[in-house]
Amino acid sequence: MTDFDTSKILAGIGSLLYGAPIIGLILVLIGMKGLSEHYKDKRIYDGLVTGIILFIISSILVFGGVITLYSTILVMFSGLVLLTILGAGICFIIGFIFALLAVKYIKNCLHALAERSGQNLFRTAGTLIWFGAILTIIGIGAILIWVGFIIAAIGFFTLKDNQQPTYGYTPPPPNTQQPYQTETSNVKANFCPNCGTPVALDATFCAHCGKQI
């Protein structure tokens, strides 16, 4: 188990290495694993792992689409051009869907970390990365994703162990009700000074021994 300070530093460095995905990914995985164990919340690490798996599937599909698209050059005169273009398009569409699912899981794990740590920068980063993935179609998505990872890195580096979570058990208000106390009788017992027999409060003579009280 990686300690808290090491985990947040590794995750922060990994987030900054957006341009070196393999090294950055390994560092983020190690860091998020430690933070997941520290906060005792599996969503933080499991969501990231699920997102990475989906992203790998997406990359394979996109790569397959690229290969299929390039193969149109070889079949240009064979009558299969439309078929290969259709195949490439299907690969690209399914790959994009898997990429969106991957980023959704990553966003959720960052939001879970924000909830447990009280650092809302992770929530902002997850949201930016999510919208960036959606807007990759029009070209500005990559910028949003890059900004999201920068904000996540700042969140990791400034994360403190004693921050209050933004959710969880809220202690009830102090109980102002006085604790129940057993009432004790204010009645004073009266006894005969001669024989010790209990007598009435207004009695002047003991009914047992006859002595005057």
| For helices 121-134 and 81-117, angle between their N-to-C axes, nearest 10 degrees | 170
Radius of gyration (C-alpha) of the chain in whole angstroms: 37
Domain containing 146: what range?
4-157
pLDDT at 29 over 80: yes
Q: Which of 179, 178, 201 is nearest to 188 (CA)?
A: 201
Token code pair at residue 134: 């959606």
Name the E strands within 65-208: none
Could you give the number of structural domains in the chain? 1
What's the mean pLDDT in 33-40?
Answer: 93
Whether 107 is covered by a domain: the verdict is yes
Whether 23 is covered by a domain: the verdict is yes
Whether 98 is covered by a domain: the verdict is yes
pLDDT of amino acid 169: 41
Whether 176 is covered by a domain: the verdict is no
Angle CA(33)–CA(39)–CA(42) in degrees, nearest 5? 55
Whether 44 is covered by a domain: the verdict is yes
Q: Is 23 left (phi over 0), alpha (psi -120 to 50) or beta?
A: alpha
Give the confidence band of 163 by pLDDT, cuts at 50, 70, 90: low
Whether 180 is covered by a domain: the verdict is no
What's the mean pLDDT in 24-41?
Answer: 93
% of the chain at pLDDT higher than 90: 54
Segment among 20-24, 134-138, 157-161, 194-198 with least mean pLDDT: 194-198
What's the mean pLDDT in 177-184?
Answer: 44
Whether 165 is covered by a domain: the verdict is no
Whether 206 is covered by a domain: the verdict is no
pLDDT digits (tens, 9 = 90+) for 76-128: 655 677 777 888 889 999 999 999 999 999 999 999 999 999 999 999 999 99
pLDDT of amino acid 46: 94
